[in-house]
């Protein structure tokens, strides 16, 4: 059973210091102090109560982290979006496309956010949605998680994949690619399936609706996977920018266990929760259970599928033991 913390994500015992699949020379590394200076002169758009609502269980996001790390990142993404839109306009001019047709071809800027369970990528995706919407160039921002593209539990059972929920083969990859393709093509309205973490399954009568936004953030464990075959399209091929949230696996394991304990006292206690069976575990039993899922399921997925995609990101956020970002790696242009 993957990630009993309620997410179909994984991570394992592998240090972030291990070399990625491509040379780090592809990136320029920016220390936290240098990155935080980029926030000089930027207004803090969020209140403390708004930040508290955005952060996930166990995450220690605060106003300082928002101001010094994510405010500059949101501005960088807004600049990329504006520049990409301008490039599209210049290409249309070069091709002689009539202005009305050129306007119709304006498409959303798509950002992918990848990383481990419990590393904080969901919080980061929610935060970037709020921050980017405050910039004049990107007022309309939508967020879609790939959990909605997991196969329903009945289909996973049929395929013998329930114990591999969160692995690439447990997702409707084609459905996800088609969804992002429609969004990227500028469709007026695109619907994605809705996943309930309470029920641990797809809800057949609920959807996430995206209506021609300026930016779409696609968050999920496997969003940076390469195509499964040479002639296939990967969802990452449709991204304009991508982020990998990185940390030492020892730190993430502790965050994962801490989150499991917190959920045992919170969401797991709800009788309607799929994970209510864990609500009455003792501390020792809960820790052993969380560690078992981590080692038996999450580690293989990490080694086979997650960490090897890190080098495909446009930008890597490296976190320290306290969940704060210590450095930023930005792919060179």
Q: Summarize the annotated binding site for ATP as residue ranges.
A: 115-122
Label the pairing between strands 190-196 and 201-210: antiparallel
Helical pair 71-95 and 121-132, crossing angle rounded to 10 deg: 60
Which of 111, 115, 143 minimizes the C-alpha distance to 129?
Answer: 143
DSSP state of 225: P
State the DSSP string of 261-283. Answer: HHHHHTGGGSTTSTTGGGTT--H
What is the SS3 assignment for 43?
A: coil
* Total length of the chain: 333
DSSP state of 152: P
**For residues 316 and 121, what is the distance between their CA atoms, to the nearest angstrom?**
12
Binding annotation: 115-122
Residues ≥6 apart with Cβ < 8 Å to 159? 151
DSSP state of 165: B
Report the Cα–Cα distance between both ends of the chain, in Å, rounded: 41
Q: Is 1 within 8 Å of 297 (Cβ atoms)?
A: yes
**For residues 239 and 234, what is the distance between their CA atoms, to the nearest angstrom?**
10
């Amino acid at each position: 059973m993957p990630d009993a913390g309620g997410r179909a994500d994984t991570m394992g015992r592998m240090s972030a210091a291990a070399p990625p699949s491509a040379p780090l020379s592809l990136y320029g590394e920016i220390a936290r102090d240098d990155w935080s200076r980029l926030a000089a002169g930027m207004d803090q758009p969020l209140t403390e109560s708004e930040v508290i609502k955005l952060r996930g269980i166990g995450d220690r996001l605060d106003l300082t982290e928002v101001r010094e790390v994510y405010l500059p990142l949101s501005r960088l993404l807004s600049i990329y979006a504006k520049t990409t839109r301008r490039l599209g306009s210049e290409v249309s001019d070069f091709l002689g496309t009539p202005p009305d047709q050129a306007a119709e071809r304006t498409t959303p800027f798509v950002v992918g956010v990848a990383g481990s369970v419990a590393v904080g990528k969901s919080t980061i995706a929610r935060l970037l949605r709020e921050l980017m919407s405050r910039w004049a160039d990107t007022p309309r921002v939508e967020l879609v998680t790939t959990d909605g593209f997991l196969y329903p539990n009945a289909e996973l059972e049929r395929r013998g994949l329930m114990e591999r929920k969160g692995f690439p083969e447990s997702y409707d990859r084609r459905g996800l690619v088609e969804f992002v393709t429609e969004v990227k093509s500028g469709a007026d309205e695109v619907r994605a399936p809705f996943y309930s973490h309470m029920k641990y399954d797809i809800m057949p009568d609920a959807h996430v609706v995206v209506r021609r936004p300026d930016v779409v953030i696609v968050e999920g464990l496997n969003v940076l996977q390469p195509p499964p075959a040479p002639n296939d399209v990967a969802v990452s091929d449709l991204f304009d920018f991508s982020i990998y949230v990185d940390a030492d696996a020892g730190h993430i394991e502790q965050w994962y266990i801490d989150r499991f304990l917190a959920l045992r006292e919170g969401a797991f206690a709800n009788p309607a929760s799929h994970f209510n069976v864990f609500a009455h575990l003792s501390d020792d039993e809960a820790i052993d259970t969380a560690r078992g899922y981590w080692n038996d399921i999450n580690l293989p997925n990490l080694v086979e599928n997650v960490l090897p995609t890190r080098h495909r990101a446009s930008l890597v956020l490296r976190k320290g033991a306290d969940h704060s970002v210590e450095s930023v790696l930005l792919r060179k242009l």
